[in-house]
Structure 1
Amino acid sequence: MLRLQGINLIIGTIVLFIALHLTFAPEHHTVRTTGSTLLGGISFLLMTFSVVLATRLEIFEEMFGGLDRMYQVHRVAGTFTAVFALVHFFSIPKELPPGVDPVLNSTFPSAQIGMASMVLLVIGLFVALNRKISYSRWRNPHKVMALVYILVIGHFMNAPGIFFERFSASGILLIVAALTGTVALVYTMFGMNKRTAMSFTIEAVNSLERATEVVLKPVGNMLKFKPGQFAFVEIQGKDWSEPHPFTISSAPNEDRLRFTMKVLGDWTRKVREELKPGGEVIVRGPYGRFDASKTGCRRQVWVAGGIGLTPFLSKLRAMEDDDDREIHFAYAARNKEEAIFLGELEAVAATRDNITLYPLFSDEGDFARIDVAKKRLPGGLTDYEYFICGPKPMVEGLMKDLKTEGVKRKAIHVEAFEFR
């Protein structure tokens, strides 16, 4: 669930900037100049937050509720960055005010830098929001946003003083933001991957029904993670350099790391058909806050749809003998043949009194729906906390219906596995 702590930090920073910018606006500013520079500053602050969130630091996971939520905020902040920047661009006075040296301004061409950054920003936003462009083709062009950020800093730092007073209260805030964002950008590009990378070798590649389980053996230390977390998997070798996020399906106390990948596209199909034991894999993580053990509610409903089973596999495999939570586990698949690890789930449920398993097969007319839950769950729907992972339509439908039934949003936990 998205946490408000991080959102409040963004809103608070922008409100502070607005207050400083309007309260201490230079006397020579016109209303148009004050308003347009205000929009430009807000755009830059949003872009800075996008850059900072790209560091994937754990402190921000705590503030926003997990890396998946951070990327949602990153995407929304990037979109509004472009919106505010466009309005700023069209509203800023195009003629230099009286008293500004045109020769000096041509030596430091703020306007030209701003134009270049605007064009690149709009192109980058189009690419980012265009779902028809594959992840592999999107990933490298998206790195151009680092150049855009540097250009934006150059744009306002070279702006004539009539537009941007560097040592005004709001100007100092923007400079601090620029320094923070630059450090974050350098870390993301040159330090993050090195700091988080852990080496593994491929021990086994197991073909399942429409999925593949990859078993990894650590070269050095084992990755420490919590059940429900995920990591980025980067297979080494020619044509394998592109990292992909997958939920860890093994338990934290195992000496091997396991990922279960549904065959959805070219990359996962290649994993199934070409990946062989003995290869090297770099794993970066762990990330995510899809943790059912930290909630205060002992009555829980787990809903897994298809490959959304993987975080729950890790939870079940890590469950202690004295765990007294009452867990109702609905596992939805097309049919029994496609219900991977169903035998393991049935075995666990048979040996534990606190777990009730509900296999739901759509081919038999059994779906993960609220009307089904109301018939099978003891007590009312509001007596439980819900953990849901699966196809987006299933997750969104269940969330909507649960809230209609009076279940509070904070009692509904979902894995928002989207990074574009």
Structure 2
Amino acid sequence: MLNRKGPMATLAIVLVFAVLHLAFPAANHSPRATGTTMLGGVAFLLMTCSIILSTRARFFEDWFGGLDRVYQVHKVSGVIAALFVLVHFFGVPKELPPGADPAINALVPSAPLGMLALIALVLSLALALNRKISYSRWRPLHKLMALVYVLAAGHFLTAPAALFDRFSISGFYLTAFAILGVIALLYSLFGMNRRTAHVYEISSVKPLERATEISLSALGKPIDFKPGQFAFVEIQGKGWSEPHPFTISSGKDEEALRFTIKVLGDWTRKVREELKSGAKVSVRGPYGRFDTDAAGTKQIWLAGGIGITPFLSTLRSMEPGDKRQIYLVYASRDKNEAIFLEELTERAAELGNITLVPLFSDEGNFARVDIMKSKLPDPLDTYEYFMCGPKPMVNGLMKDLKKEGVKRDRIHTEAFEFR
């Protein structure tokens, strides 16, 4: 669930600028110039926050409730920034006020830089929000936002004093964040991957029903993860250029690091068909706050298809004697697609506190709240819910649970989308 601390901090950064800008306006600036430059500054600050969030600093996960939530705010901030940029562009005065010295207040290069930034921003957002573009093509195109940011910084730093006073309190505030943003940008583009990478080697590639399990052996320091977390996997070698996020499916004490990857597109199909033992892999993480250990003693785990992986890691890590009462609802198309069903059944019997409920849609069985209500011994609002699976399934269950009186803070999901 999204932690409000992070979004509130982002809002505070924007509000401080707005208050400073309005409370200490530059002399001889019209209300129109003051208001529209304020919107431009807010847009720039939101872009800066998006870039800083892309560094994946660990404390952001605590502030926002996990890296998946960090990227949600990253995306929303970028979209809102674009809207403010458009209002700023169409509203800001296009001419110098009467009496302003044209030589001192030249619009060049500020105006051309602003126009280029606007064009690049619109193109970048159109590409970023286009779900039809494959991830391998989208990722390098998304880096155009770095160019947008540099152009935007140049735009306000070279703005004529008659329209924006960069030596005002709000101007210094904006400049300070521009410096932070450039540092974060350089780190994200050139430093983050080298600093956070753990080196592994592929030890085995195992085809499953509509999925592939890869096992990795650490060549250096292994990552220290909690069950339910995920990591970015980047296979080294020609044709394996971009990292992809996957939930860790191995147990906490296993020597091998395992990922179970559903075959969804070209990259995952290539993993299944071409990946061989011995290939080098960079693993960056762990990330995520999908932590069942931090919840209450009465839990319901709802998994749809490949969404079983975080629960699989948790079950592989648990020991007998766990005091929690857990119902694991595993929804799949049929028994053949329910990967690891046999292992899950055996682990549930060993642990004693797990009730496994397989649901196969080809038999007419679906994960539905009305069925849970009739089958569970206690009221629905006495449980905490952990859900991972297809977005329509998760959204539908969440909506129905709220109707039954289950509070939002008792429903835990992972928004596994990073674009």
Q: Same fold (TM over 0.5)?
A: yes
Q: Which aligned pairs between 1:17-56 and structure 2 lie closer than 5 A?
A: 17-56=17-56
User: Structure 1 residue runs of 4+, over 6 Å off?
Assistant: none
Contact 2:323–2:353 (8 Å) recurs in 1: yes
2-side partners of 1:378 and 1:322: how far apart?
21
Contact 2:232–2:283 (8 Å) recurs in 1: yes
Is the counterpart of residue 226 in structure 1 residue 226 in structure 2? Answer: yes
Is the counterpart of residue 185 in structure 1 residue 190 in structure 2? Answer: no
Is the counterpart of residue 332 in structure 1 residue 331 in structure 2? Answer: yes
> Partner of 1:403: helix, strand, or coil?
helix
Contact 1:222–1:255 (8 Å) recurs in 2: no
Q: Which aligned pairs between 1:119-134 and structure 2 lie closer than 5 A?
A: 119-134=119-134
1:324 CA drift (Å): 0.7
What's the % identity of the aligned pairs? 61
In structure 2, the residue matched to 1:380 is: 379
In structure 1, the residue matched to 2:394 is: 395
Is the counterpart of residue 369 in structure 1 residue 368 in structure 2? Answer: yes
Which structure 1 residue ranges, 5 or more long, are not aligned?
Answer: none
1:73 CA drift (Å): 0.6
> Partner of 2:166: helix, strand, or coil?
coil
In structure 2, the residue matched to 1:59 is: 59
Contact 1:210–1:263 (8 Å) recurs in 2: yes
One-letter code of the match for 1:57? A
Contact 1:201–1:278 (8 Å) recurs in 2: yes
1:352 CA drift (Å): 2.2
Q: Which aligned pairs between 1:282-321 and structure 2 lie closer than 5 A?
A: 282-295=282-295, 297-321=296-320
1-side partners of 2:322 and 2:161: how far apart?
64
Contact 2:329–2:358 (8 Å) recurs in 1: yes
* Cα-to-partner distance string for 1:139-169 (whole Å, 9 max, x where unaligned): 1011111111111111001001122212322
One-letter code of the match for 1:88? H
2-side partners of 1:386 and 1:321: how far apart?
22
> Partner of 1:293: helix, strand, or coil?
helix
Contact 1:68–1:417 (8 Å) recurs in 2: yes
1:132 CA drift (Å): 1.1
One-letter code of the match for 1:20? L
Q: Which aligned pairs between 1:89-168 and structure 2 lie closer than 5 A?
A: 89-106=89-106, 108-168=108-168
1:105 CA drift (Å): 4.9
One-letter code of the match for 2:278? G
| Segment drifting more, 117-126 vs 250-259 | 250-259
* CA RMSD after TM alignment: 1.2
> Partner of 1:153: helix, strand, or coil?
helix
In structure 2, the residue matched to 1:203 is: 203
What TM-score results when the alignment is normalised by the length of structure 1?
Answer: 0.98
2-side partners of 1:284 and 1:105: how far apart?
48
What TM-score results when the alignment is normalised by the length of structure 2?
Answer: 0.98
1:98 CA drift (Å): 3.4
1:236 CA drift (Å): 1.1
In structure 1, the residue matched to 2:248 is: 248
Number of residues paired by the alignment? Answer: 419
One-letter code of the match for 1:129? L
Contact 2:26–2:164 (8 Å) recurs in 1: no
1:186 CA drift (Å): 1.2
In structure 2, the residue matched to 1:322 is: 321
2-side partners of 1:119 and 1:58: how far apart?
33
1-side partners of 2:321 and 2:350: how far apart?
13
In structure 1, the residue matched to 2:410 is: 411
* Cα-to-partner distance string for 1:182-225 (whole Å, 9 max, x where unaligned): 11111111111011111111100001100000000111111111
2-side partners of 1:353 and 1:102: how far apart?
81
Contact 2:330–2:358 (8 Å) recurs in 1: yes
2-side partners of 1:53 and 1:383: how far apart?
35
Contact 1:198–1:283 (8 Å) recurs in 2: yes
Contact 2:96–2:163 (8 Å) recurs in 1: no
> Partner of 1:276: helix, strand, or coil?
coil
2-side partners of 1:291 and 1:163: how far apart?
50
One-letter code of the match for 2:271? V
Contact 2:114–2:151 (8 Å) recurs in 1: yes
1-side partners of 2:109 and 2:263: how far apart?
51
Contact 2:107–2:160 (8 Å) recurs in 1: no
2-side partners of 1:230 and 1:183: how far apart?
27
> Partner of 2:312: helix, strand, or coil?
helix
1:254 CA drift (Å): 1.2
Which structure 2 residue ranges, 5 or more long, are not aligned?
Answer: none
2-side partners of 1:107 and 1:392: how far apart?
48
Q: Which aligned pairs between 1:76-91 and structure 2 lie closer than 5 A?
A: 76-91=76-91
* Cα-to-partner distance string for 1:80-124 (whole Å, 9 max, x where unaligned): 111000110000000122344434555841000000000000000
1:25 CA drift (Å): 1.2
> Partner of 2:204: helix, strand, or coil?
strand
One-letter code of the match for 2:208? L
One-letter code of the match for 2:249? S
> Partner of 1:251: helix, strand, or coil?
coil
1:253 CA drift (Å): 1.5
1:6 CA drift (Å): 0.2
Contact 1:100–1:160 (8 Å) recurs in 2: no
Contact 2:105–2:161 (8 Å) recurs in 1: no
One-letter code of the match for 2:281? V
Is the counterpart of residue 68 in structure 1 residue 54 in structure 2? Answer: no
